[in-house]
Structure 1
Amino acid sequence: MALFDFPLPQLREYRLTRSEPAGFDEFWDRTLTSARSAALPPKLAEARTPLRGVSSYDVTFTGYAGQPVRAWLNRPAGVTGPLPVAVEFIGYGGGRGLPTDWLFWAGAGYAHLVMDTRGQGGSWRGGDTPDPDEHGAGPSTPGFMTRGVLSPETYYYRRLITDAVRAVETAAELPGVDASRLVVTGKSQGGALALAAGGLAADRVSAVVSGVPFLCDIRRSVTITDSDPFNEVVRFLRTNPPAAEQALNTLDHVDSVHFARRITAPTILSAALMDDVCPPSGVFAAYNAIPGDDKRIEVYEWDGHEGGRGFFDVAACEFVNDRLS
């Protein structure tokens, strides 16, 4: 993919000037209050793996509307003292897979809670958490971007973002965890969920890591890329033109830029200038919305949606270690 978005000097100054939807805070406060009122204590069961240096646990916690969400918890074997904890969210289409898929943060000395993604896990890594059908009624394009998109109340990402906040709250209560050192992390869709959880659970989050985040400046992003998942929205609007403003208003309720404005923790993002999946202008709009000075964006001029790969992982871990040590 060639360069297609604003040039880098303009990206560094780019900001979203559109206001968030009316009642944004009330909508999310009400949603999260309802989920918390239905919450049950998490369940942990030891998961057997051939690894000797990592202990793994199969976790079930309650997310949106008290619905069960699966997760893996990995932690360095034999370490009993309270550990910093990283809560990780997964990219579009993927699920939690196997506990042996997630070794980076445990290898860095963290407890590591990996949240499964409701209804996903059928594209590139398997998942175990269903998304009850009754919540996503109405017309939609195949995929998840337009599932229930005619109302913020029924929209798929309302449920998934609620799960992410509840994952943070669950991680803070796990045994052997230092809740004062809690990181949210993810890439692409996972990066969007890290920004959302970082904003909605700002009082619990100590650092945010968001690689090439999705759902940023959605109204612009759907007009400048032909790639999915944003193109799912275009196909939906093409076949349902009278519903365009209604759907876009729903999408405004999950735009990562609005959550970024509420982040108070140190934050590191990555942007890739050839990324046609999560356009760099959206990523910079989210980055520039984050208040404060303790933030950094790693720019990968020649990358597409891989967004820095292991180079960003190392930079992010060093960033977090410096602030949580």
Structure 2
Amino acid sequence: MNHDHPEELTEYALSALLTPLAPPVDPPDFDEFWRATFDDFGSGAVCWEVVDEGEPTETHRVLEIRFRSSADEQAAAYVMVPRSEERIRRGLVVGHGYGGRTAPDADRVPADTAAILPCAPGTHAGTPSRFPADPSAHVLAGIAQRDTYSHRFAAADIWRAATVLLDMVPAAGAALDFSGGSFGGGIGAMALPWDRRFRRAVLDVPSFGNHAVRLTRRCTGSGEAVRQHLPQHPEARAVLDYYDAAIAARRLRIPVHVSAAVLDPAVDPRGQFAVYHALTGPKRLSVRANGHLDGPSGAKSDALALQDGIDFLALPDDRLA
């Protein structure tokens, strides 16, 4: 590879992906930065209100809410509460991809689970934000400084969404989990090490892993906007190290399931596997044939990964070893 002609490979041999690359280097004050961010945004009460009740599913009531974002603006979320609240066994915070969400992902929420599905700042059309909705613009918003970067507030709103869920449905705190894919998987890896309320996590084709590798190739995802931005704004490169999902994953101690693809035009597979390799606690890996692909092959891969994640979160504790 040279800087004039970055790699454009999207598929790698599984044997190569299973061999850890050199890990990204931690900023010396990485932990201090994220602990301070959690203190600022992840502790204390969060104001929220129900704004609409949607069509129920066979198992859940569906509520649309607004809550106060870490970005000091309104944020949107969908909350799914089991119709039989006495049967609630678990809680779930569900992240989303860079396409955002306009409805709850009902297929991710089992019958015994109360879930909140927050929309990251700027990604919901009904909540005005200083962050742009377009992924290529959102990924650059505030990138000049670590305190202002959009991903800081996206991660902090995972904590705030958990607080809202536990306020609305206290029984969800019996076993609080996280599930997120792509953008949501990478943001989840950044958020989870600092919040001790979470029991387990599922990260599907997680983004933002090992920027030193991720930035060496063209892609169809938000990483391309970052890659093109850096030559004119090299000072932003140091900021990205505070938002590297592989660096954050080294701090995770809860059981984590990662689904990583060998072929992915949007999120470099090497970065996905870097998140898995970085984990130091109990972990499981599912290898996807592809990620971020349209058509039957992509849909099948998505469905298999979804079921793997649901099964992992449902496992009894003694099956995790």
Which TM class, normalised by the smaller chain length? 0.7 to 0.9
SS in 1 for 2:280: coil
The CA RMSD over aligned residues, in Å, is 2.6
Q: C-alpha distance in 1, partners of 2:179/2:47? A: 23
Alignment counterpart, residue 103 of structure 2, candidates 95, 98, 103 = 98
3-state SS, counterpart of residue 36 of structure 2 = helix
Q: Deviations over 1:130-186 (max 9, x none)?
A: 3336xx9xxx99521211211112211111111122222333333242313111111
Q: Note if contact 1:60-1:71 (Cα within 8 Å) is conserved in structure 2.
A: yes
Number of positions where the alignment pairs a residue of Structure 1 with one of Structure 2: 304
Structure 1 residue 71 displacement after superposition: 0.8
Q: Gaps (5+ residues) in structure 1?
A: 122-126
- Is 224-233 or 313-322 further displaced after alignment? 224-233
One-letter amino acid of the structure 1 residue matched with residue 150 of structure 2: Y
Q: Give the Å deviation of 1:55.
A: 0.6
Q: Deviations along 1:244-271, whole A, 9 cap, x unmatched? A: 1x21111111110122111111111111
**Letter of the structure 2 residue corresponding to residue 59 of structure 1:** I
Q: Could you say what secondary structure the match of 1:172 adopts?
A: helix
Task: Tell me what 1:124 maps to.
Answer: none
1:128 equivalent among 126, 129, 136: 126
Q: Which residue of 2 aligns with 1:110?
A: 113
Find the residue that maps to 2:215 and give its secondary structure.
helix
1:32 to 38, 46, 62: 38
Is structure 2 residue 279 aligned with structure 1 residue 279?
Answer: no
State the 1:39 CA deviation: 4.5
TM-superposed CA distance for 1:30, in Å, is 1.9
Pick one of 154, 157, 171 that aligns with 2:151: 157
Q: Find the counterpart in structure 2 of residue 304 from structure 1.
A: 291
| CA–CA distance in structure 1, aligned partners of residues 166 and 116 of structure 2 | 10
Q: Please report the TM-score for the alignment, with normalisation by the length of structure 2.
A: 0.85
Question: Who is 2:169 aligned against?
Answer: 175
Q: 1:295 aligns with which of 283, 292, 295?
A: 283
SS at match of 1:157: helix
Q: CA deviation at 1:275?
A: 0.5
Q: What do residues 247-302 of structure 1 show as CA deviations (whole Å, max 9, x unaligned)?
A: 1111111110122111111111111111021111111111111113x21111123x
Give the structure-1-normalised TM-score.
0.84
Q: Which amino acid aligns with 2:258?
A: L
Q: State the distance in 1 between where 2:135 and 2:115 align.
A: 34
* Deviation (angstroms), 1:81: 4.2
Whether contact under 8 Å (1:58, 1:70) holds in the other structure is: yes
SS state at 2:151 partner: helix
- C-alpha distance in 2 between matches for 1:141 and 1:86: 25
Contact 1:88/1:115 (CA < 8 Å) preserved in 2? yes
Tell me, yes or no, if the aligned pair for 2:23 and 2:210 is still in contact at 8 Å.
no
Between the aligned partners of 1:287 and 1:200, the Cα distance in structure 2 is 18
Cα–Cα, structure 1 residues 76 and 40, in superposed 2: closer, same or farther, change >3 Å?
A: closer
| Pair 1:218 & 2:211 matched | yes
Identity within the alignment, %? 24
